[in-house]
Homo-oligomer: A and B are copies of this chain.
Amino acid sequence: MFILLSIYISGYPIQFESKMNAIAIFVGGSTRTSTIDGISIAGASSEETLYTPTLDLEYIINGIPLTKNEIPVTPTGLPTPAVITRALLRKIKIPYLVVDSGLYSKLKVPHVKIPSSIPGNNIEIYDAMPKGTAKAIFEESKLMGEIISNKQDIILLGESIPGGTTTAASIIEALGFKAIDFISSASPNNPRDLKRKVIENALKRINKGDDVFTIIDKVGDPVHISLAGFTAGVLKNVTTVLLAGGTQMGSVISILHRLNILDERIKIATTKWIANDKGSNIFKLIEQIDKRIEIIVSDVDFSDAKHEGLRLYEKGYVKEGVGAGGVMILSKYFGIDIEDIKKEIYKEYERLTTIGKGNN
């Protein structure tokens, strides 16, 4: 006998069972698009962005990255949003997996490998991946999604791909929707003109009649197509798929739209820092593709955080990533109240900032 509860977050009702089965999956990969100077701040330097997803995923599994003995930071030293993700995964204690779908640097923690995945090229100049790669990544991810979601109610899908808002916008535009004006950035100063130039050059390689997989091969990346594949697979079993991320999840929605497998069980779960962002508009982005897709917004606020690195989220820094918004929302479904959610995040942030001072 299960007790049905109803929780309202930003006006979106979600029903769940007290014995809810959930698994979280975090897909990481690289696109050399992130090394274009000025396009991504998901790393201390442009070249560092290639290591960021590996360090993010190692950190959420191991508590400290292994490939380099440092937490990914922005050029101004702000730590990865994976801090939020790890803090809450350890609180709600669900099974989770990290996935290598085209990482530049191999993971040194146990992980799922999507066999056909490889890092994407810089889409401004080159096709992202050899012909056939996107289709193979999609099918492999779909198969994994079907099997891992057996007997599950909710699957949360997060991502880590620096440069991902640019490749995502490129995918969305190539699939016939508007993205450049709607897409977000980890920086408070979204380099929109630079992104527009990159995307416009990429789109020149698209031919009329290219199918969705050819489009990804040309102007996409290995992560968003994997997320689309996982989503397609887990729909075999679950009642809810949480696409845990910001505007770049629009690319997953647009891929699934083109493949004609969108339905109301698929929801975007994100932070209020994305929802309130003046430099982007996730609601308009998604609405133009499919009005049925709900966007669930976490109400966690860091105004009272002791650490400046977290208070700066309220000023538009970082905003989202590695499933942070979705994991905060999932924590509410599991009955953790907002003060406890913040307490766990602050505690983990405190642990990180004292690592190396003999306190890990």
Give chain A's interface residues, CB within 8 Å of chain B: 1, 19, 21, 23, 61-62, 93-97, 100, 106-115, 140-141, 143-144, 147-152, 237
**Complex contact A147–B113 (CB within 8 A):** no
Beyond A93-B237, A110-B144, 9 additional pairs, beta carbon < 8 A? A1-B1, A21-B21, A21-B151, A95-B151, A96-B147, A96-B150, A107-B115, A110-B140, A111-B112
Residues of B within 8 A of A143 (CB): 61-62, 109-110
- Cα A281 to Cα B123 in complex, Å, equals 61
Q: Which of A61, A97, A150 has the most CB of B within 10 A?
A: A150
User: B95–A106 contact, CB under 8 A?
Assistant: no
CB-CB < 8 A to A152: which residues of B?
A: 95
> With A21-B21, A113-B111, A115-B106 known to touch, is A95 a contact of B150 (CB < 8 Å)?
yes
Task: Report how many copies the assembly holds.
Answer: 2
CA distance A114 to B106 in the complex (A): 12
Which chain B positions have C-beta within 8 A of A112?
Answer: 97, 110-113
Q: Which residues of B sit under 8 angstroms from A95, Cβ to Cβ?
A: 23, 95, 147-152
**Closest B-chain residue to A149, C-beta based?**
B95
Least Cβ–Cβ distance between A91 and chain B, in angstroms: 11
Enumerate 11 A-B pairs (CB-CB under 8 Å) in ascending A order. Answer: A61-B147, A93-B151, A94-B150, A95-B95, A95-B147, A95-B150, A107-B115, A109-B115, A110-B140, A110-B143, A113-B113
Residues of B within 8 A of A21 (CB): 21, 151
Q: A143-B62, A151-B94 are in contact. Are A108 and B115 (CB under 8 A)?
A: yes
Residue of B nearest to A96 (CB): B147
